[in-house]
Structure 1
Amino acid sequence: MSLVSADLGDGTYRNPVLDADWSDPDVLRVGDDFYLTASSFGRAPGLPLLHSRDLVNWTLVGHALERLEPEAGFAAPRHDCGVWAPSLRHHDDRFWIFWGDPDQGVFQVNAPGVHGPWTRPHLVKEGKGLIDPCPLWDDETGEAYLVHAWARSRSGIKNRLTGHRMHPDGTTVLDEGKVIVDADRIPGWFTLEGPKLYRHDGWFWILAPAGGVETGWQGAFRSRGFFGPYEEKVVLEQKDTGVNGPHQGGWVRTPSGEDWFLHFQQRGAYGRVVHLQPMRWGGGEGWPVIGDDGAPVAVHRKPDLPPQPPAAPATDDDFPGGRYGRQWQWTANAQEGWATQHSADGLRLTCVRSAHAHDLRRLPNVLTQRLPGRPCAVEVELRLTSEEPGARAGLAVLGDAFCWIGLQRGADGTVRLVHRFAETGGETERDAGHPRPAPEGWARLRIEIGAGARCRFSYDLGDGARPSGQVFAATPWRWVGALLGLFALAPTGQGHAGAATFTQFRINPL
């Protein structure tokens, strides 16, 4: 089963509606269906696609980007690179997603339907530090526009938004661009980013956050002309709530005319969780009012939409026929043979040979999913069949620091239960718990994840569950929340290194 839905079952919902790292969300309605995409950085497949009928209950229905390009550039993990802050739009009977790769430029893919087929990535504007792009096809004038922000780490520029005229076919920009909002000129504003571009009531609107992901606010900008001048207003901020830095998101309108805003909140190791806020137009000379008079809501009535069954993105997996579900992503572009299909259930991972076998952060062949934002227990069964001395497989919590528990084949041919970790900045693993014999080559592994992403590891070798090691506090990556990971490895050498099989992966609320 999936983790608990945000739907409280009494006509209300509780934030966050997506309680895991669905970073930098953007939302779209087509007919009676709502769709959401999010940043996927260096993981593959990328650009997740979520579907809902009520903006509260969401399911993961696919990905728009099978592999990151260039292939060689993402053959190894680049956890804070790749797909940053996508925008999702529907135009000319096609779905469009634009995103910024901070090292390459602005890309887009498009498809006739959300399930594809999606085009190969197309480079719309080349350049370093171009991030958070958003297109607009203006039905009133027939013009097309593109706005984007800047990453100072690549360009030396930040706190401003640049606008372009764009070819209506979405393939290229038509001018050199103009700074349309320079937040250095707005007292107290810094780190303006994440623009979403709209037309409403005769105005061009840009909804964009500033002030940093942990402490900032959501701004609105409006102008009668796309290239400005724009006036600004803060429309959502923490105030006296527990929702720090309500950040980047998107506006959507229901068929009945209700307005809603989805945005993220940075929550450390849990990543960027997604909140749903009521929204209305007309507060103070036509500006949008988001949340409870500009403050995030914790519990609210659901949108006026047909009732839906409770749902949340899938987490559990029985790996039928060796196949893994949509919730899993590799830490880089996948290679043939990392996971093999077979007639029985269970995920069979090849023990891939690597010179970096003792640092999971540097391995591309770790199969991951998001760390849940609520207390839970993660369990999986593991059988190590590789006869290779040094072969290992396990269940990991992966971030700037990592910790894993699993099985390892010794030089004498025996299998042992091992529990190891590495600190942030540490280059070598150390024992986190005492090794012990696993004569059957089998173990049931468990991690209880409590408040503050504090992880307690345990195992069962067939003689009852036993705790292992000290509590491990999960850590995020630079822009990404911590991940749960399954892996199988072997030291460098020649020939086939065998495999490990995982079965009955479960995540249950605590």
Structure 2
Amino acid sequence: MTISRRDAMTGVLAAGSAMALTRTDRAESAPAATAPATEWKRGPDNQRIADLGDGRFLNPLLSGDRPDPAILKDGSDYYMTFSSFDSYPGITIWHSRDLINWQPRKAVLNKNIGSVWAVSLEKYKGRYFLYIPVKAEPNSIFVIHADSIDGPWSDPIDLKLHQHIDPCHAVGEDGSRWLFLSGGDRIRLSDDGLSTVGEVEHVYDPWRYPDTWDVEGFAPEGPKIHRHGDWFYMLTAVGGTAGPPTGHMVIAARSKSIHGPWEQHPDNPLVHTQSADERWWSRGHASLVEAPDKSWWAVYHGYENGLWTLGRQTLLDPVEWTPDGWFRMKGGDLAQPIAKPRGGQALAHGMALSDDFRDLKLGAKWNFFRPAPDEARRARVEKGALILTGRGTAPVDSSPLLLIAGDPAYEFQCDIEIAPGGTAGLILFYDDKLYCGLGFDETRFVTHQYGMERGRPANPYGRRLTLKVSNRHHIVSYHLSRDGGRTWSRFDRGMEVSGYHHNVRGGFLMLRPGLYAAGPGEAKFRDFRFRAL
């Protein structure tokens, strides 16, 4: 059952004209955000990390493209994962014990079933479940399950839900299991959670913002259901995921029963970027989670001001429960440091992106883009080298190996040796239609820009060289070395890549550093070094 906005006069909903006027005025007069009061701490490879080491943290919680966070509290452990789209192995599980410091464990999806969007990570009666929406032909929602968070995970089971995205598993007060879906819909699950029962039903009409706001579109999605005290709370994203920086937002509703009726939060929207001057844009897709010290927090994503190329990064916002049984977010625009929750064991945060290739870190670190079923067979490590069999002719059809880098400035380098007739190189890759980089065969370089080959100057280095790519706030340069990086010469091609992002190309991805091998034979990659600047 759904309560319509016509019931606002009864006090059940609070989205009437007076509130619309207030929020419109607030959006138009929002002050410009200040820069952070302090800089980030630095972790492996000089990458920024959230924990400042003084009892505070500074967002992003996880930098780089970590969108649509799905978080699970499992006793004293926290697990979180994100949309992995066309990257495989996909759905990497991250682990924390204090909500602030996170370590990757492993990727749980190895079979390419399509572009993975916002998942639901749950534990029910001792078993872990992941409900996985994919963009494919046709779109659908799958489920996998495991008795341990580290697997083995089952093969994907197709639930044949072709019209919805963003599932959220929920258990009712009567023990019934449900998937809540985009658009305010839901469908019942079987008792084992591995199939659906009956038909999709519409149960909730989300709160609507005033039509004077600059948004991408209504797009109610990403429902998250939490039971707290006597209430079920539903958080929903509206306004569109990207587009204008002021579009994406978080709204909430509650009900005494999983079956409704749902009443709107009187202060919707709870999170909303009001001005492009703020540090974080397009904030939305929130979940609630309880910290080790019993405080409450919201985890959601947002774009960093001016850095669409980094994708949607994971943010953490303190939550306060109010006497009327509602809650509010307290972090403002998240531009300033915030006191950490207390308790829990702090793990070492993040991971080095540099790689000596003693082992093959597929999933936790490296991902193939849109791989074939046998893609993993192309890669192996041997005597401190990544051996990658060539595929295709260029990055467009070579399924490159990519990393997620979360700093606005960085450089990476690698010693590369190619087989006769082969081509290899380093790239900045958004998708197969939009990338740039530098590769070489034994006689010529090949420059990539806008997803095309732009020039083939002569290569005097032969079949082995060390190549370095620098991305300094979207200004890209290349350097070459024949002595392993002791001396460098600059390659005569520079690029500007601020437009390599979703609002130009679509796809919800980020600009990722990586490497590729094309043509016949195998390429050897040694001593991959990454450093944030």
* TM-score bucket (shorter structure): 0.7 to 0.9
Task: State the secondary structure of the residue aligned to 1:141.
Answer: coil
Q: Are 2:446 and 2:453, in contact at CA under 8 Å, matched by a contact in 1?
A: no
Equivalents in 2 of 1:322, 1:370: separation in Å? 16
Encode CA deviations 1:111-162: one digit per residue, 9 max, x unaligned.
11111010111122x1333100001123x3211121011xxxxxxxxxx220
Match of 1:120 among 141, 155, 163: 155
Distance 1:16 1:342, change over 3 A: closer
- Give the match for residue 259 of structure 1: 296
Encode CA deviations 1:257-281: one digit per residue, 9 max, x unaligned.
1111111113411111111111122
- Give the match for residue 203 of structure 1: 231
Distance 1:101 1:306, change over 3 A: closer
Distance 1:184 1:341, change over 3 A: closer
Q: Is 1:245 paired with 2:285?
A: no
Q: Are 1:419 and 1:435, in contact at CA under 8 Å, matched by a contact in 2?
A: no
TM-superposed CA distance for 1:282, in Å, is 1.6
Q: Comparing 185-194 with 222-231, which one deviates more in the overlay?
A: 185-194
Q: Is 1:42 paired with 2:74?
A: no
Q: Are 1:322 and 1:339, in contact at CA under 8 Å, matched by a contact in 2?
A: no
Task: State the secondary structure of the residue aligned to 1:361.
Answer: helix
- Give the match for residue 408 of structure 2: 374
Give the AA of the match of 2:145.
N
Q: Are 1:270 and 1:481, in contact at CA under 8 Å, matched by a contact in 2?
A: yes
Distance 1:351 1:31, change over 3 A: same
- Give the match for residue 271 of structure 1: 311
Equivalents in 1 of 2:67, 2:130: separation in Å? 15
Equivalents in 1 of 2:134, 2:239: separation in Å? 22
Equivalents in 2 of 1:242, 1:401: separation in Å? 26
Match of 1:175 among 195, 198, 205: 198
Give the AA of the match of 2:239.
G
Q: Is 1:459 paired with 2:474?
A: no
Equivalents in 2 of 1:379, 1:10: separation in Å? 34
Match of 1:14 among 50, 55, 58: 58
Task: State the secondary structure of the residue aligned to 1:195.
Answer: strand
Equivalents in 2 of 1:175, 1:26: separation in Å? 26
Distance 1:220 1:321, change over 3 A: closer
- For structure 1, the residue ranges without an aligned partner over 5 or more in a row are 70-80, 150-159, 411-415, 491-496
Give the AA of the match of 2:315.
H
Equivalents in 2 of 1:503, 1:321: separation in Å? 12
Q: Are 1:95 and 1:114, in contact at CA under 8 Å, matched by a contact in 2?
A: yes
Q: Are 2:96 and 2:347, in contact at CA under 8 Å, matched by a contact in 1?
A: no
Q: Is 1:450 paired with 2:472?
A: yes
- Give the match for residue 406 of structure 1: 439
Q: Are 1:133 and 1:195, in contact at CA under 8 Å, matched by a contact in 2?
A: yes
Encode CA deviations 1:437-489: one digit per residue, 9 max, x unaligned.
104x22221122222x3322222123721222113315135211112221111
Encode CA deviations 1:186-241: one digit per residue, 9 max, x unaligned.
75481211111122222221111111223221111112233433222321122463
Structure in which a larger fraction of residues adopt strand: 1
Task: State the secondary structure of the residue aligned to 1:234.
Answer: coil
Equivalents in 2 of 1:323, 1:278: separation in Å? 34
Distance 1:7 1:407, change over 3 A: same
Equivalents in 2 of 1:503, 1:231: separation in Å? 58
TM-superposed CA distance for 1:324, in Å, is 5.2
Match of 1:280 among 309, 317, 320: 320
Q: Are 2:64 and 2:407, in contact at CA under 8 Å, matched by a contact in 1?
A: yes
Equivalents in 2 of 1:302, 1:337: separation in Å? 40
Q: Are 1:339 and 1:347, in contact at CA under 8 Å, matched by a contact in 2?
A: no
- Give the match for residue 296 of structure 1: 334
Distance 1:455 1:238, change over 3 A: same
TM-superposed CA distance for 1:342, in Å, is 5.3
Q: Are 1:317 and 1:324, in contact at CA under 8 Å, matched by a contact in 2?
A: no
Equivalents in 2 of 1:275, 1:184: separation in Å? 23
Any residues of structure 2 matched to 1:297-336 within 5 Å, and which?
298-306=336-344, 308-320=346-358, 326-334=364-372, 335=374
Q: Are 2:221 and 2:236, in contact at CA under 8 Å, matched by a contact in 1?
A: yes
Equivalents in 1 of 2:446, 2:343: separation in Å? 48
Q: CA RMSD in A?
A: 2.3
Distance 1:104 1:299, change over 3 A: same
The aligned length equals 459
TM-score by length of 2: 0.81
Q: Comparing 184-193 with 40-49, which one deviates more in the overlay?
A: 184-193
Equivalents in 1 of 2:314, 2:411: separation in Å? 22
Distance 1:349 1:287, change over 3 A: same
Task: State the secondary structure of the residue aligned to 1:245.
Answer: strand
TM-superposed CA distance for 1:310, in Å, is 4.1
- Give the match for residue 494 of structure 1: none
- Give the match for residue 230 of structure 1: 262
Distance 1:307 1:341, change over 3 A: closer
Equivalents in 1 of 2:495, 2:206: separation in Å? 43
Match of 1:488 among 502, 511, 517: 517
- Give the match for residue 64 of structure 1: 108
Task: State the secondary structure of the residue aligned to 2:407.
Answer: coil
Give the AA of the match of 1:222.
R
- Give the match for residue 428 of structure 2: 397
Task: State the secondary structure of the residue aligned to 2:396.
Answer: helix
Q: Is 1:89 paired with 2:122?
A: yes
Q: Is 1:429 paired with 2:457?
A: no
Encode CA deviations 1:168-198: one digit per residue, 9 max, x unaligned.
2112222212212234877548121111112
Distance 1:16 1:435, change over 3 A: farther
Give the AA of the match of 1:403.
C
TM-superposed CA distance for 1:66, in Å, is 1.2
Q: Comparing 456-465 with 8-17, which one deviates more in the overlay?
A: 456-465
Distance 1:209 1:184, change over 3 A: closer
- For structure 2, the residue ranges without an aligned partner over 5 or more in a row are 1-43, 212-216
- Give the match for residue 78 of structure 1: none
- Give the match for residue 74 of structure 1: none
Encode CA deviations 1:360-399: one digit per residue, 9 max, x unaligned.
2343x31111233332111211112x112xx200111112
Equivalents in 2 of 1:196, 1:25: separation in Å? 11
